[in-house]
Amino acid sequence: MQKSELETKFPELLTVKPKQDRVGLPLLDDAEQGKVVTRFPPEPNGYPHIGHAKAAIIDEEYARMYGGKLIFRFDDTNPEKERLEYYAAIKVGLDWLGVKYDHIKNTSDDMELIYRKAEEFIQSGYAYVCTCNKETISKNRREMLSCKCSFGDLTQNTKRWKDMLEKYKPGEAIVRFRGNMHSENTVMRDPTLLRIIDESHPIHKNKYRVWPNYDFAVSIEDSVDGVTHAFRTKEYELRNELYYAILDKLQMRKPRVLEFSRLEFDGMPVSKRILKPLVQEGKVSGYDDPRLPTLEAMRRRGIVPEAIRKFVLSLSFTKSDTLAPFETLESFNRKIIDPTSMRLFIATDPVKLIVKNNNLTEVEISNHPQKDMGKRKIRIDGSFYISGNDAKSLKVGDEVRLLEIYNIKITKIVPNIEADITDNNFKPEIPKIQWVPSQDAVKIEVLIPKILFVNEQFNENSLEIKQALTEPYYLELNVGAEIQFVRYGYCRKDSANQVIYTHK
RNA sequence: GCUCCUGUGGUGUAGUCCGGCUAAGCAUACUGCCCUCUCAAGGCAGUGAUCCCGGGUUCAAAUCCCGGCGGGAGCACCA
């Protein structure tokens, strides 16, 4: 009412610029069409998972949105953790996701550059070589104390740097950023820039033994790679100050750094610390076990890349902590695979059903209710299997329809379920159940992935295996085919006698 | 403990920077109807949010200010 009063008296006060509904990710600051460069910088230290997918998709979407470029860069500066197979696995995962990058590189290929920058840092006095032991350093950082090394002069630092490259053993010396030991931000209390690692690098073997740490490598790489907008997860937020400080001292161009929340599903941890033991102890079958949030596992399970992309974008670009809803992913996936999933009948926990007066020998059924995916013929002899679940609810006298064939009336439940055909007319009101012909039934197992962890505890029942029978047509399908078992759910054919339950 | 981030229906988000158009849009979940020889997909409708709480500023606040509270993260020679 106050508003209406305003409208009549001072309409000019109410003219606001139009708010438009935004489509896709939020706009970026300082983003020029055609000039945006983003980067996806995984460390090749494990198999790619949903978290990688989120990062890569966001990186790519922004590059696309602004007609810019995406750089795919392996941040491989810790030979202790990296392995060749992980480089490959991550690349495979990215390709599967359909993320297209404009350039691929390894941070480790820029070691000469990184060394030059390190020397520049030392020469200009912005960094020093510290030979204190780990405990002292950590104690000093906590107590805001500088150590003796930080007062060392240029000659000392130059000499020590040389010794790091040649003599010192791992742990004996590190290059530290001259930050501020009194900073509220603990990251700034003279953080490590480079350290010695003697381990052989998967690509460069023993060529280098002084390796940059994350902050040093990333800031330099992002800058020289021409990255304009660098996205990383929230836990790096406190490192922004360091990132900018490094580039500042080096007088290098500064990208914009933005953070987003990590993506993890409830009860589906992504961390190597948790996953590795599961694989080693055989609690899961491998990194492609369908219960896992790895890309390989999702692929096996029947989740398609387009669904992951839609899902990730539906989460938007935010810093708020989210417990991602797996059911939303499933819903996107279902809509995508439904039009191409062939329909088949399945009987889980099968129970026999005899139709006494069967008069058919064969029936032809469409492979899909809407799309033309052809038809299949099924031989019939009056002996069927139906799913245990359906069997349980049957009583003598019940009338049900065996889908696509005829209506039957139950005449006997024990010892076997028996029935008579009543008629052939489709009756909307009676229950309709699927069946499998017993003479040609194909035995399969259905792997049903459930939540892996319940309250931080490994769920011993996280994988249910159901025995089932299906139609012979199953045998003609390729491994990898997505099937919708009518009235049961979507499954992906994983092998000749095994399917994985995708979702309902 | 210190520092930083975050808080919109069951869930995920839009809107928050630049206060009014919308007492809150979309998706998902749920319910019902239509379609359908599936409990799928598709169509339609509905349920569901005092926008964490308490103050303040203002004609007007989810949006601005102050103070609480809840949740998360960082405090490595890992990224």
Query: What's the distance, CA A337 to chain centroid?
Result: 19
* Closest residue, by C-alpha, to the C1' of B76: A138
Distance from C-alpha of A442 to C-alpha of A227, rounded to nearest angstrom: 55
CA distance A291 to A284: 8
The CA distance from A399 to A421, in Å, is 9
Q: What pLDDT, on a 0 to 100 scale, did the predictor assign at position A6?
A: 54
Distance CA A41, CA A47 (A): 14
Interatomic CA–C1' length for residue A322 and nucleotide B70, angstroms: 15
| The predicted structure's pLDDT at residue A19 | 58
| pLDDT at residue A323, as a whole number | 81
Determine the distance between A19 (CA) and B60 (C1') in angstroms.
18
Which nucleotide lies closest to A319 by the C1' atom and the CA atom? B6
Q: What is the DSSP letter of A86?
A: H
**Residue A476 contacts strand B, CB under 7 A:** no
Q: Under CATH, domain A342-503 is a member of which superfamily?
A: Ribosomal Protein L25; Chain P (2.40.240.10)
Token pair of A186, please?
């603990």
Q: Residue A375 pairs with which residues in a beta bridge?
A: A366
Nucleotide with C1' nearest the A107 CA: B79
Q: What is the pLDDT of residue A1?
A: 39
> Is the CB of A13 less than 7 A from some atom of nucleic acid strand B?
yes
Question: Residue A9's pLDDT is what?
Answer: 56
Nucleotides of B under 7 A from a protein CB: 2-8, 10-16, 18, 20-22, 25, 27-29, 36-42, 59-60, 71-79
Instruction: Map out the domains of chain A as residue ranges.
Output: 37-109+223-247, 111-211, 272-338, 342-503
Token pair 């470029």: residue: A69
Our measurement of CA A386 to C1' B11, in angstroms, reads: 36
Q: Determine the nucleotide nearest to A136 by Cα–C1' distance.
A: B77
- Residues in A 224-283 whose C-beta is less than 7 A from nucleic strand B are 234-239, 261
Euclidean distance between CA atoms A14 and A3, whole angstroms: 9
Tell me, what's the pLDDT at A456?
Answer: 82
Longest CA pairwise span in chain A (Å): 101
Strands A432-433 and A127-130: unpaired
Give the nucleotide with minimal C1' distance to the Cα of A192: B77
Rg (CA), chain A: 31
DSSP A168: P
Q: Which residue is nearest to nucleotide B41 (CA to C1')?
A: A338
d(CA A28, CA A66): 9
Write down which residues 342-401 in A have CB closer than 7 A to strand B: 343, 369-370, 389-390, 401
> What are the pLDDT digits (tens) for A146-180?
999 999 999 999 999 999 999 999 999 999 999 99
Rounded CA separation A190/A149 (Å): 11
Closest CA to the C1' of B1: that residue is A142
Q: Please tell me the predicted confidence (pLDDT) of residue A16.
A: 46
Sequence-ordered alpha helix ranges (H) in A316-419: 326-337, 388-392
The nucleotide lying nearest A133 (C-alpha to C1') is: B77
- Answer whether any strand B atom is within 7 A of the Cβ of A7: no
Q: Which CATH class is domain A37-109+223-247?
A: alpha beta
pLDDT at A5: 56
Q: Kindly determine whether the C-beta of residue A77 is less than 7 Å away from any atom of nucleic acid strand B.
A: yes
What Å value separates CA A324 and C1' B55?
A: 35
For residue A305, which amino acid is it? Answer: P
Cβ pair A218, A239 in contact under 8 A? no
Identify nearest nucleotide to residue A339 by CA to C1′ distance: B41
The residue ranges of chain A whose pLDDT is under 70 are 1-21
* Class of the CATH domain delimited by A272-338: mainly alpha
Closest residue to B25 measured CA to C1′: A21
For residue A312, give the H/E element and its range.
helix A305-315
| A9 burial level (CB within 10 Å; 0-12, 13-18, 19+) | exposed
| CA-to-C1' span, A234 to B71 (A) | 14
Architecture, CATH, for domain A111-211: Alpha-Beta Complex (3.90)
ipTM: 0.95
Asked if strand B comes closer than 7 Å to A340 Cβ, the answer is no
End-to-end CA distance of chain A: 50
CA–CA gap between residue A383 and residue A351 (Å, rounded) = 11
Say what the pLDDT of residue A388 is. Answer: 96
